[in-house]
Structure 1
Amino acid sequence: MISYNGNLTQNTDISIHQNRAFLYGDAVFETFKTLDGRVLFAEDHYFRLMASMRILRMEIPMHFTMEYMEKKVLELTDELNISASARARLTFFRKPGGFYLPTDNNAEFVITADTLPDAIYSFTDSEYEVDLFKDFYVTKQLLSTLKNTNKAVQITGSIYANENGLNNCLLLNDEKNVTEALNGNLFMVTGNKLVTPPVSDGCLNGIMRKQILALARKTEGLEVEERSVSPFELQKADELFITNVIKGIQPVTRYRKKEYANATASALLKKLNAQIRLGGLI
C-alpha cells in the first residue's frame, strides 16, 4: 500500500518509460521518522521540501500544506498498521513530458512507509569504520544541499564501502574538504569544540544536523563551529559521528588507524530523545 497524490492505492499505474524521476532524476524527496502518531521535525521537513521544489522550478500544489503532508504520511502508516515508529518517504516528481526541458512543471507525489525496529533513537557503540571516498566529489553548489534523486556519488560510494568492508564513507568536495558521510552529516569533536562542515561546502542541509546544532549550542562548555574540515583534521579529533533523521546519531569508532570515543555523541543523543519525549521538537 502506498499513497499516490494523497490517495491510498496498491498501484500508481505510473509509466516508467515516461516518468521524469526515472528518466532524468527530476525529483526531490524527504525521509521522515514517525513516532506514536507524529511526524518528527515536520516543519523542518516541509520547508526544506518546499524550498527544494522552488529551486528546481517545480509547481507546488496549492493544497499541499504542512498539515496536509503530515495527514497523508500518518494516513498511510495507519493503513499499514504501523503503530510505533516508521520510516516514510515522500517523493515529488514533475509530470511527464519533454526531454531536459519539461513541458509541464506541475508535480505529483508518492509516499511509501515501512516499520522501524526502534521507536526512540538508540545509541550503539559497536564497531563502525569509515574512510574517504575519493573516486568522485561533491560540488560546492546549492543543488548538492538538496534531497534530490541524483545520488550517483552516494551509490558508487556505498558500493566502494561494501567492497572494502567499511560501514560508511566520507565524501569530499571539489576543494578536497570533507563534506558529509554517504547517508548523513558529519560532526567532529576536538577538545571542547564541535565542528561540522557548513552547507556552503556542499553538504546536505540535514534536518537532524539542525537539531544537533541547536542542542549543542545549549550545552554548557561545548563550543560549536560550522567551518570547512580538512581530511587531515579527522585523525586529530576525539570523536566523529554521523547524523540523519532515521538513525539519529551514529558514532564512528575507526577512521584508518585512529579510534574514537563517543561521550559527546552519547550525551547529545540523550538530550535529543528527551526533547522528543517532551514534545519539544526543535
Structure 2
Amino acid sequence: MINFNGKLIKEDNFITNDNRGYKFGDALFETLKVVHGKILFWEDHYFRLMASMRIMRMEIPMNFTMEFLEAEILKTINVNGLAKSSARVRFNVDRGDGGKYLPKEKRVSYSIDAEPLSNDFYTVSSLKSYTVDLYKDYFVAPGLLSTLKTNNKAINILGSIYAKENDFDNCLLLNTNKSVVEALQGNLFLVSGERIKTPPITDGCLNGVMRKHIIDVILNSGDYVLEEASISPFELQKADELFITNVIIGIQPILKYRKKVFDTKVSEDILRRLNTKMRLS
C-alpha cells in the first residue's frame, strides 16, 4: 500500500501521466531507514527535506510539521505490516499535476512507500569482493542543485547500467572539474593513515544524512583527522581505505579499485563507533 497525500491506496493507482515528478523530475525524495517503528535520523531527514523544498521553491504546507510527517510515515509502515521489523521508506514530494516547465499551481503532493529490509542495524559487510571504478561518460555539476535528492538521477542510472555491464559493484562519479565527488548510491570517504578525507558539498556531492553523522563520529573520535577537500582520481590508488556511506547500509567498504586492494580496519572501527553513538542517542 502507498500513502498518497494521507490516503492509503494500492500501489498502481496513485500517479497520473500529468504528474510533474514523472514528466519533468520536479520532485524531491528522502530515503529513510525505519527500525521497529523508529525512523533513524528523522530530524536530519526532516530539516534536509524542508531546506531542499525551499531551494526548489516549493510551497511548504502548514501541516508539514515533523510530527505530522512522522505519523504519516509510521502509518504507512503499519499498513504494510512492517512495524516490528526494519524497512526502507521513500518519502516523495512533488508539485502534483499540470503545467509545462512552469507549474500551474503552488501546491505540493506527497507519497510514501515502504519495503522490508533484512538488517535491523548496521553491520560490517560480509562481501568478499566489492569492486568499483570511475564512471566518466557524464559529470556532476558542482553547485547547490547537485547536493539535493531530486528525481533527476540520469547520471546515477547510466552509471548503474555501466557498472552492471562491467561487473562492478559500484562506480565513483566525477564533477566537471574532474574531482571525485561520490559513489552512485552514497558519499565517499578516503582513508590515509589517521587522516580521513571526504569531498566538500561545494564539489557537488549529495548533502548526505549519513555523511553528516560519519563526520561527527570522526571529529569526536580523538583518533582521526577529518579533511573536507576535493579528491583527485590519482589519490584513490594511494589510499589505505575507501568507503561509501548512506542511511540504508551505514558503511560499505570498497575492497578493490583497479589494481589496488584495500584494507577495512578503519571503516570497521568507524562503523562500531557509529553504532555506539546510535545506542547512546
Moved more, 220-229 or 74-83: 74-83
The answer to whether residue 266 in structure 2 is matched with residue 264 in structure 1 is yes
Residue 115 of structure 1: aligned partner: 116
After the TM superposition, which residues 12-23 of structure 1 pair with which residues of structure 2 at under 5 Å, given as runs?
Answer: 13-23=13-23
Alpha-carbon contact 2:21-2:96 (below 8 Å) kept: no
* 1:18 aligned counterpart, secondary structure: coil
Poorly superposed stretches of 4+, deviation over 6 Å: none
* 2:98 aligned counterpart, secondary structure: coil
**Residues 218 and 15 (structure 1 numbering): CA distance in 2 closer, same or farther, change over 3 Å?**
closer
**Residues 259 and 15 (structure 1 numbering): CA distance in 2 closer, same or farther, change over 3 Å?**
closer
Give the Cα separation in 2 of the matches to 1:15 and 1:184: 28
Could you tell me how far 1:276 is from its partner in structure 2?
A: 2.1
The answer to whether residue 67 in structure 2 is matched with residue 67 in structure 1 is yes
After the TM superposition, which residues 108-147 of structure 1 pair with which residues of structure 2 at under 5 Å, given as runs?
Answer: 108-126=109-127, 127-147=129-149
Give the Cα separation in 1 of the matches to 2:202 and 2:222: 27
Alpha-carbon contact 1:95-1:105 (below 8 Å) kept: no
Could you tell me how far 1:75 is from its partner in structure 2?
A: 1.3
Alpha-carbon contact 2:35-2:85 (below 8 Å) kept: yes
The answer to whether residue 188 in structure 2 is matched with residue 181 in structure 1 is no
After the TM superposition, which residues 1-282 of structure 1 pair with which residues of structure 2 at under 5 Å, given as runs?
Answer: 1-10=1-10, 13-82=13-82, 83-126=84-127, 127-278=129-280, 280=281
* 1:213 aligned counterpart, secondary structure: helix
Give the Cα separation in 1 of the matches to 2:90 and 2:260: 35
Deviations along 1:192-229, one digit per CA (max 9) or x if unpaired, are: 10000000000000000000000011112200010000
Could you tell me how far 1:277 is from its partner in structure 2?
A: 2.5
Deviations along 1:95-154, one digit per CA (max 9) or x if unpaired, are: 212101111121000000011000001111521000000000000011000000000000
Deviations along 1:17-60, one digit per CA (max 9) or x if unpaired, are: 21101110000000000112110000110011011111111111
Give the Cα separation in 1 of the matches to 2:200 and 2:270: 20
**Residues 98 and 258 (structure 1 numbering): CA distance in 2 closer, same or farther, change over 3 Å?**
same
Give the Cα separation in 1 of the matches to 2:269 and 2:175: 30
Give the Cα separation in 2 of the matches to 1:216 and 1:193: 10
Give the Cα separation in 2 of the matches to 1:128 and 1:215: 24
Give the Cα separation in 2 of the matches to 1:187 and 1:39: 25
TM, length-normalised to structure 1:
0.97
Give the Cα separation in 2 of the matches to 1:241 and 1:125: 14
Give the Cα separation in 2 of the matches to 1:252 and 1:13: 40
Alpha-carbon contact 1:57-1:105 (below 8 Å) kept: no
Give the Cα separation in 1 of the matches to 2:35 and 2:11: 26
Give the Cα separation in 2 of the matches to 1:43 and 1:15: 28
Alpha-carbon contact 1:125-1:253 (below 8 Å) kept: no
* 1:148 aligned counterpart, secondary structure: coil
Considering only aligned residues, what root-mean-square deviation do their CA atoms show, in Å? 1.1
Deviations along 1:207-261, one digit per CA (max 9) or x if unpaired, are: 0000000001111220001000000000000000000000000000000000100
Alpha-carbon contact 1:4-1:109 (below 8 Å) kept: yes
Give the Cα separation in 2 of the matches to 1:103 and 1:224: 46
Give the Cα separation in 1 of the matches to 2:10 and 2:85: 23
Give the Cα separation in 2 of the matches to 1:185 and 1:20: 28
Alpha-carbon contact 1:4-1:12 (below 8 Å) kept: no
Could you tell me how far 1:11 is from its partner in structure 2?
A: 5.3
Paired letter, 1:135: D
Q: Percent of aligned pairs with the same residue?
A: 51
Paired letter, 1:70: E
Could you tell me how far 1:92 is from its partner in structure 2?
A: 0.2
Alpha-carbon contact 2:196-2:225 (below 8 Å) kept: yes
Alpha-carbon contact 2:4-2:14 (below 8 Å) kept: no
Give the Cα separation in 1 of the matches to 2:141 and 2:73: 32
* 2:74 aligned counterpart, secondary structure: helix
* 1:219 aligned counterpart, secondary structure: coil
Paired letter, 2:31: T
